[in-house]
Amino acid sequence: MTADGFDAVVVGAGPNGLVAAVTLATAGRRVLLVEAADRVGGALRSQELTLPGFRHDVGATALPLALASRAFRELGLTGDELRWAHPPVPVAHPLDGRDAVLVHRDVEVTARGLGRDGGSWRGLVGATARAGPPLVDTLLSPLGVPSAPLAAVRYGLTGALPATWLGRAAFRTVAGRAVFAGMAAHSVLDLRQPITAGYGMLLAALAHAVGWPVVQGGSQHLADALAARLERLGGELRTGTTVTSLDELPAAPIVVLDLTPRQVLAVAGHRLPDRYRRRLERFRYGPGVFKLDWALDGPVPWADPRVGQAGTVHLGGTLEEVAAGERDVARGRHPDRPYVLCVQPTVPDPSRAPAGKHVLWAYCHVPNGSTRDQTEVIEAQLERFAPGFRERVLARHALAPKALEAFDANLVGGDIGGGAADLRQFATRPVAALRPWATPVPGLFIGSSSTPPGGGVHGMGGWHAARLALRR
Ligand SMILES: Cc1cc2nc3c(=O)[nH]c(=O)nc-3n(C[C@H](O)[C@H](O)[C@H](O)COP(=O)(O)OP(=O)(O)OC[C@H]3O[C@@H](n4cnc5c(N)ncnc54)[C@H](O)[C@@H]3O)c2cc1C
């Protein structure tokens, strides 16, 4: 690459890299965004993985964090750039031999469905949802000045607990405990660990506060909208260019890496002081996922048909079963009946498949770098709550951890969260520092999901890195 007067170079065009690039360009900087893949988006890309006409999100689909995050609110993507599609029910959690639990947009409707546990849902999840954007901003900027200090303290008192404790203490029914565990298991942590309750409360609250929408036409459209915005602001995009060393980049006063510590070390290690390099080497990755995408010739035949209205479905039964599965994974084992996170994109957005057909995806957590084929156990969980599911399958496509990492180098060992997000590494990622987006090298910043606030499509890692770069 030639030096041609860029003020900032961003490496990696995942949601964090794209947000960083647009934030810098909006501030008037001339930005170059370099991406290894042929298309922008990172884990937001969409492809026809199974059959022609079936459009699958390879990674993220349910995007409540994007809708709620300050970074995306400030970008103010218009209806011309992007359309959201909301499922009638954000989340469902089927149970054996009884009605599924439905998390509706409305707190009251959800609470009524939970019977004896309705009051706890209102008190815990409803209160978090009511605290609204100021609380979400505080949680997605965990090292900043809280914009909702009281709500944050209230949330923190219960959110700091292990999900198993809070689930059992706050809820009395099988349904209430199960739905809470299903939310908390998004943390990809042993649910007996601290702060897992907090993940559950936030994600459940977002279902009420903003919904769990998908992007009309596929998540790729969100990435493309950001890339188009960048280009309109005068930014330049180079796809199909894997950066192996900072020395390959044009000289620029600001470099933001949308990379996880392993790649930061590979690309920039020779410029980093020894001490910082050793700290990055100690960064811990979390478990991986094994993902399946299906083309279906009709909707999933859920035993409780109301589950067919949900965008996201948590499969794994009771709190005890979900917790046991996550505990096994944390110990490096493959549970027989894992917690399975399943997304039905064509429920809110039928445009992703030919008329009357559907796309569906599901993953289960596995030990980092696992090579075991999980197709059977995932499909068994679907058959358990949707007998006859396999008869609807027209085609399937599997993504084991290694394949995920080949698709996007940030998905190290199949870890989709950019590193373990336990108490120790939640805010101290990639290293413990007041401003963890900055490195000791002047002008060099990290903005990936390996920085606070961590995994998920919210763009906040890139936003923090870009703003810090602009301030400095
Ligand atoms: C299967 C799956 C399902 C998910 N589901 C959801 C969901 O429903 N909702 C949600 O909010 N989140 C979900 N996530 C998580 C979410 O997608 C990630 O947390 C998010 O994409 C992280 O953004 P990022 O920009 O930090 O990194 P990434 O999106 O991983 O992007 C990193 C980019 O950097 C590029 N890159 C890497 N190395 C180099 C290099 N050396 N040179 C140039 N470019 C490089 C990669 O090609 C990639 O484009 C899911 C992820 C996966 C994989």
Within 171-219, where are the H helices?
174-184, 196-209
The pLDDT value recorded for residue 83 is 96
Give the closest residue to 25 by CA, choosing from 367, 327, 311, 256.
Answer: 256
Atom 34 of ligand 1, nearest CA residue: 12
What pLDDT, on a 0 to 100 scale, did the predictor assign at position 79? 86
Taking residues 400-422, report their average pLDDT. 98
Task: Render pLDDT for 15-45 as a digit per residue (tens, 0 to 9).
Answer: 999 999 999 999 999 999 999 999 999 999 9
Tell me the sheet residues that pair with 302: none
Give Cα separations from 279 to 93, 164, 327, 434 (angstroms): 40, 32, 27, 15
CA 417 to centroid of ligand 1, rounded, Å = 8
**Predicted confidence (pLDDT) at residue 6 exceeds the cutoff of 60:** yes
- Atom 50 (ligand 1): residue with closest C-alpha? 60
The predicted model scores a pTM of 0.97
Per-residue pLDDT averaged across 422-443, rounded?
Answer: 95
Judge contact between 79 and 85, C-beta under 8 A. no
Q: What is the pLDDT, as a whole number, of residue 80? A: 87
Element (H, E) at 151: helix 149-159
**For residue 20, what are its two tokens?**
């960083």
Among 42, 47, 36, 1, residue whose Cα is nearest residue 18: 42
* Residue 460: both structure tokens together: 């906040």
What is the rounded average pLDDT of the residues 116-121? 98
Test site for ligand 1: of 63, 199, 410, 451, most ligand atoms within 8 A of the Cβ:
410
pLDDT for residue 448 is more than 70: yes
DSSP per-residue string spanning 411-422 = SGGG-TTSS--S
Cβ–Cβ under 8 Å, residues 239 and 13: yes
What are 452's two structure tokens?
A: 């606070």
**CA-to-CA distance for 130 and 126, rounded, in angstroms?**
6
CA-nearest residue for atom 21, ligand 1, is 43
Angle between helices 196-209 and 127-140 (to 10 degrees): 110
Q: Are 29 and 8 in contact (CB under 8 A)?
A: yes
The contacts found for 433-440 with CB under 8 angstroms, 24 or more apart, are: 434/143, 435/143, 435/468, 436/143, 437/461, 437/464, 437/465, 437/468, 438/468, 438/472, 439/264, 439/268, 439/272, 439/276, 440/272, 440/273, 440/276
Q: Is the pLDDT of residue 253 over 70?
A: yes
With the most atoms of ligand 1 within 8 angstroms of its CB, the residue from 416, 445, 448 to mutate is 416
Consecutive H or E run containing 254: strand 254-257
Average pLDDT of span 261-269: 98
Mean pLDDT of the chain: 97
pLDDT tens string 190-232: 999 999 999 999 999 999 999 999 999 999 999 999 999 999 9
Question: What residues contact 165, with CB distance under 8 A and at least 6 apart?
Answer: 192, 197
What pLDDT was estimated at residue 2?
Answer: 43
The helix (run of H) or strand (run of E) holding residue 155 is: helix 149-159
Choose among 46, 55, 21: nearest CA to 35: 21
Coil, helix or strand at residue 297? coil
Given the CA of residue 457, which atom of ligand 1 is nearest to it?
A: 11
- Region 384-388: what's the mean pLDDT? 98
**CA of 449, closest atom in ligand 1:** 26
Pocket residues: Cβ below 6 A from ligand 1: 11-17, 34-37, 42-44, 59-63, 65, 242-243, 258-259, 263, 267, 289, 291, 363, 404, 408-411, 416-418, 448-449, 455-457, 461
Q: In terms of pLDDT, which residue wins out, 26 or 143?
A: 26
pLDDT band at 127 (very low <50, low <70, confident <90, very high): very high
Q: Helix, strand or coil for residue 363?
A: strand
pLDDT of amino acid 147: 86
Place of tokens 């301030």: 471
